[in-house]
Amino acid sequence: MASFVSSHKGKDKLVYAGFIYLKNRNGVENKRYWRCENYKSSKCPGTVLTDSDNKVLVLNDHNHGPSPTRIELARIKDNINKAAVTSSLSPRALVSKQLAGISDKAKTELPKLKNLEKTVGRKRYANGQQAIMGKINIKIIITATTYIFIITIAFTKILSQQSKK
**pTM for the predicted model, two decimal places:** 0.73
Q: How confident is the model over 101-122, as pLDDT tens digits?
A: 999 999 999 999 999 999 999 9
> How many whole angstroms separate alpha carbon 39 and alpha carbon 53?
25
Label residue 29 left, alpha or beta by phi (over 0 means left) and psi (-120 to 50 means alpha): left
Q: What domains, with CATH codes, occur in the chain?
A: 3-60 (2.20.25.240)
- The string of pLDDT tens digits covering residues 40-66 is 999 999 999 999 999 999 999 999 999
Pairing type for strands 47-50 and 56-60 reads: antiparallel
pLDDT over 60 (residue 146):
no
